[in-house]
A and B are shown apart, each in its own frame.
Chain A
Amino acid sequence: MAPSIGAKVVLLREDLDRLIAELRERGYVVIGPTLGEGAILYEEVTSSGDLPAGWSDVAEAAAYRLQEGADRRLFGYSLAAQGWKRHLYPPRQRLFLAERAGRGFRLSSGEADGAPMALLGVRACELAAIQIQDRVFTKEGFTEPGYAGRRRAAFIVAVECGRAAATCFCASAGTGPAVGPGYDLLLNEMIDGDAHRFLATAGSDNGAAILGGLSCRPPTAAELSSAAAQPAAAAAQQQRRISADAAGVLTRAAESPHWEAVSKRCLTCGNCTMVCPTCFCTTVEDITDLSGDIAERWRQWDSCFTIDYSYIHGGSVRQSGAARYRQWITHKLASWHRQFGSSGCVGCGRCIAWCPVGIDITAELHALEQAEQVSKGGDNGAD
Chain B
Amino acid sequence: MTVLPANPMSPRPFRILKVVRELSDTFTLLLQPETGGAFSFRPGQFNMLYVFGAGEVPISISGEPAEDRQLVHTIRSVGPVTQALGRLKAGDVVGVRGPFGTPWPVEDAFGDDLAIIAGGVGLAPLRPAIYQALANRPRFGKLIIMYGARTPQDILFRKELEKWRSRFDVNVHVTVDHATGQWAGRVGVVTKVVAKAGFDPLHTTALVCGPEVMMRYAVEALEERGVAASKVHVSMERNMKCGVGLCGHCQWGPHFVCRDGPVFRFSDVAALFPVREL
A binding-site residues for B, Cβ under 8 Å:
95-96, 98, 100, 103-105, 107, 109-110, 136-137, 139, 141-145, 254-255, 280-284, 286-288, 292, 295, 297, 299, 302, 304, 309-313, 317-320, 322-323, 327, 331, 334-335, 338-339
Contact = CB atoms under 8 A, between A and B. Distances in A.
Counting from the closest, the 8 A-B pairs by CB-CB distance are A104-B93, A281-B248, A323-B277, A295-B53, A288-B53, A335-B254, A338-B254, A142-B244
Given A286-B54, A335-B254, A137 B246 contact: yes
A339 B260 CA distance: 10
Given A104-B93, A282-B246, A282-B247, A317 B10 contact: no
A105 B8 contact: no
B239 to A, nearest CB: 5
B1 interface: no
B92 interface: yes
B13 to A, nearest CB: 6
B55 A286 contact: yes
B11 interface: yes
Given A139-B245, A283-B241, A104 B55 contact: no
Contact of B238 (A144, A255, A317, A339): A317
A145 B8 CA distance: 8
B3 interface: no
Q: Which of B8, B50, B79, B248 has the most CB of A within 10 A?
A: B248
Contacts of B244: 141-142
B9 A107 contact: no
Interface string B252-278: 011010010000000000000001111
A193 B139 CA distance: 84
B127 interface: no
A110 B68 CA distance: 30
Nearest to A331: B251
Given A141-B244, A313-B79, A323-B276, 7 more contacts: A142-B244, A144-B246, A281-B247, A302-B248, A304-B248, A309-B239, A331-B248
Contact of A318 (B10, B13, B246, B277): B277
B241 A317 contact: no
Nearest to B277: A323
Contacts of A109: 7, 10
A109 B8 CA distance: 12
Contacts of B52: 98, 100, 105, 295
Contacts of A304: 248, 251
Contact of A254 (B7, B91, B278): B278
B35 to A, nearest CB: 11
B200 interface: no
A254 B9 contact: no
Nearest to B244: A142
B13 A105 contact: yes
A135 to B, nearest CB: 11
Contacts of B79: 313
B115 to A, nearest CB: 26
A255 B248 contact: no
B64 interface: no
**Prevailing SS type, chain B contact patch:** loop
B78 interface: yes
Interface string B139-157: 0000000000000000000
Contact of B249 (A107, A295, A310, A322): A310
B237 interface: yes
Contact of B92 (A103, A254, A309, A322): A103
B254 A334 contact: yes
B184 interface: no
Contacts of A327: 251, 278
Contacts of B53: 98, 286-288, 292, 295
19 contacts: A98-B52, A103-B93, A104-B92, A104-B93, A107-B11, A107-B13, A142-B244, A142-B245, A143-B8, A280-B246, A299-B9, A302-B249, A304-B248, A313-B78, A317-B277, A318-B278, A320-B277, A335-B253, A339-B254
Interface string B4-44: 10111111010100000000000000000010000000000
Nearest to B51: A286
Nearest to B237: A312
A289 to B, nearest CB: 9
A323 B239 contact: no
Nearest to A323: B277
B56 interface: yes
Q: Which of A110, A317, A331 has the most CB of B within 10 A?
A: A317
Contact of A107 (B10, B54, B254, B278): B10
Nearest to B34: A104
B10 A319 contact: no
A105 B251 CA distance: 32
Contacts of B253: 335
Contacts of A318: 277-278
A368 to B, nearest CB: 15
Contacts of A281: 247-249
Q: Which of A96, A105, A109, A323 has the most CB of B within 10 A?
A: A105
Nearest to B12: A107
Contacts of B241: 282-284, 302
B213 to A, nearest CB: 10
B209 to A, nearest CB: 15
Contacts of B93: 103-105
Nearest to B8: A142
A145 B6 contact: yes
A355 B244 CA distance: 31
